[in-house]
Structure 1
Amino acid sequence: MQLLYSRVYLFFISSCLVVTCEKFTPVVLWHGMGDACCFPFSLGAVQKHLNDSLPGVHMLSIKIGNTVVDDVENSYFMHPNKQVQLACEMIKSDPLLRKGYNAIGFSQGSQFLRALAQRCPVPRMKSFVSVGGQHQGVYGIPNCLSVDHRTCDYIRRMLNHAAYFSWMQHALVQATYWHDPLNEELYKEGSTFLADINNEKSINQSYIDNLMALKNFVMIKFETDTMVQPIESEWFGFYEPGQAKKIQTLQESELYKQDRLGLKQMDQEGKLHFLSLPGNHQQFEWSWFDKNIIDKYFK
């Protein structure tokens, strides 16, 4: 009799797990610079909110390294190509993700998740939400808008002097998405991550095909962001080549016009979604996120 009860119990638990897993598409999260997978005040809080909104949903918060401390350090010092490779292996080894997943990237985690979608198509990423991601890179330092413009330009030039040196590209994560609009050729030649995933070195058709397989690509921009320069990078915009003042939108860029990533076609198919918030970097209310993201794209 005890054995019978045990079998019934196990069958009940297994059935509940199957129903729960199939009710909502699993969610993969990737944190930003200086953060980690599981801090209770950041990604841990996001996971709690997600579980409230999508009860029982399976979640994987990417952790690069054996510990949370490793994860934080690697957000600065492990090359994105290696991080994306490790994340791909992580996702492939999770049986609950085998039917596909939705993804949310926070700040630089957005670029990394997009690279994951382009380079690691199995299992398939379905809807991708970029929260303040820098898809055309950055050309400025955090909070630089609060100081004199000439000082910002000086610091930019100092960074430009070393950003594309091979040793710097492999020593500092942020150098791999530093984008100098004053010297586009140097950027394309020296960038070991961003220029590649943006198909600016050569055209990788698999990147296009895999990105276009997304059902939705949602980009959230923070209108008063002091961390990301230019802010329009969060919507795949950037400075016009040759200067660092005038902004061009994604739709005005050669990347879009030549459709080097399939974004033009995705836009025409209604797969690109541009949302904005009035706050600073990563400042949003969960009620807004629930209404505009979870309800629309995850349920």
Structure 2
Amino acid sequence: MASYTTFSILLLLIGLTSCYKPVILFHGILSGSENMVLLEETIKLFHPGTKVYNCGKFPYWNSLESSWRQVRELKKYLEEINALHHEGVHFIGYSQGGLLGRAAIQSYPQHNIKNFISLSSPQAGQYGDSFLRLIFPNLVAKEAFELFYSRIGQHTSIGGYWNDPFNQELYFKFSKFLPYINNEIFSLNSTNFKNGISKLNKMILIGGPNDGVITPWESSHFGFYNKSLSVVPLYERDIYINDEIGLKTLDKAGKLILIAKSHVNHLCWHTNPWIIREVILPHLD
């Protein structure tokens, strides 16, 4: 009887430690995999047996390399991990890492990413002084287009998603990243970009009004400024109305989840265990 009980417990433990899909983590700008360790440990603590891949590519100053260069390398990384886990994996990208991760998924429509979690990421772009001061202390938002909408500026990751509402003509002329992955500009990859998103089981977009870095914070939900600096929410923007990258498709199928949480600073989304338990863990089934 004792041996039968022990065997039953072992079977239960095996079941508990094998029911969670692997998780890929990708860090934000001017940081590295070390900054994602608390998130990794929290996932393993509450979801025992979870295999976590904490991607260390493009750490710290290397995170300023061009968006497309990072996306290409991240795509290769996803291909390698996907080949090991035919059951599928989840992806969590923090800040810039969520935007680049989304682009890598779009560039790899054969992926087996199940749930994509964008953790306070500038999915509709970035425009604001608070963010710039972290990297370019003497640069202000209203003048940043002179740097970012240039050949040199487009060799920086930020230049790839800087979205100046007052200089949209230059944005579409010079930006080689964001308007393409958002299918604002049609390209040979536009169909793949949409298929990569539509294939997801769930897309979870997380952000909040007290973030303090992502500007506007609604960019984490694909909302963005108009020329009056009023925020146009996702559901009123062409990217959703015309289903340009598959967001409407996901939404109509109940697969698009928007989470807005107040009183969370940008640096706390991935470092506060209570926040992680509340907004991330429920989506790592």
Residue 148 of structure 1: aligned partner: none
For this pair of structures, how many residues does the alignment match? 265
Change (3 A) 1:121 1:21: farther
User: Partner amino acid for 1:130?
Assistant: S
CA distance in 1: counterparts of 2:206 and 2:252, whole angstroms: 19
Distance 1:142 1:127 in 2: 30
Report the counterpart of residue 26 of structure 1 in structure 2. Answer: 22
On the 8 A contact 2:17/2:47 being kept in 1, the answer is: no
Question: Which ranges in structure 1 are unaligned for 5 or more consecutive residues?
Answer: 1-14, 66-70, 146-153
- Per the TM alignment, residue 20 of structure 1 is displaced from its structure 2 partner at its CA by 7.8
Alpha-carbon shift at residue 143 of structure 1 (Å): 6.0
Aligned residues of 2:22 and 2:89 also touching (Cα < 8 A):
yes
| Cross-structure match for 2:213 | 227
Whichever residue aligns with residue 76 of structure 2, its letter is E
RMSD: 2.5
CA contact (8 A) 1:117 1:124 kept: no
> Following TM superposition, by how much is the alpha carbon of 1:244 offset from its aligned partner in structure 2, in angstroms?
4.4
Corresponding residue for 1:174? 158
Matched residue, 1:48:
41
User: Which residue is 1:7 aligned to?
Assistant: none
Structure 2: gaps of 5 or more residues: 1-10, 134-138
Structure number with larger C-alpha Rg = 1
2:168 to 177, 184, 187: 184
Superposed CA deviations along residues 70-126 of structure 1, whole A, max 9, x for unmatched, are: x212112x2121111112222322353343210111101010111111012344111
**Runs (4+) off by over 4 Å:** 18-22
1:87-98 matches, within 5 Å, as 87-94=74-81, 95-98=83-86
Task: Give 2:4's aligned residue.
Answer: none
5 Å matches for 1:1-299?
A: 22-39=18-35, 43-64=36-57, 71-76=59-64, 78-94=65-81, 95-142=83-130, 155-170=140-155, 172-202=156-186, 204-240=190-226, 243-278=227-262, 279-284=264-269, 285-295=272-282, 297-299=283-285
> TM-score by structure 1 length?
0.81
Cα separation, partners in 2 of 1:277 and 1:98, compared to 1, 3 Å:
same
Cα displacement (A) at 1:282:
3.6
The amino acid across from 2:112 in the alignment is R
Counterpart contact for 1:222–1:282, Cα < 8 Å: no
- What TM-score, normalized to structure 2? 0.85
Contact 2:75-2:105 within 8 A present in 1 as well: no
Q: Name the aligned partner's letter for residue 144 of structure 2.
A: L
Contact 2:126 2:162 in 1 (8 A): yes
Question: Secondary structure of the equivalent of 2:142?
Answer: helix
Q: Shift of residue 25 of structure 1?
A: 0.7
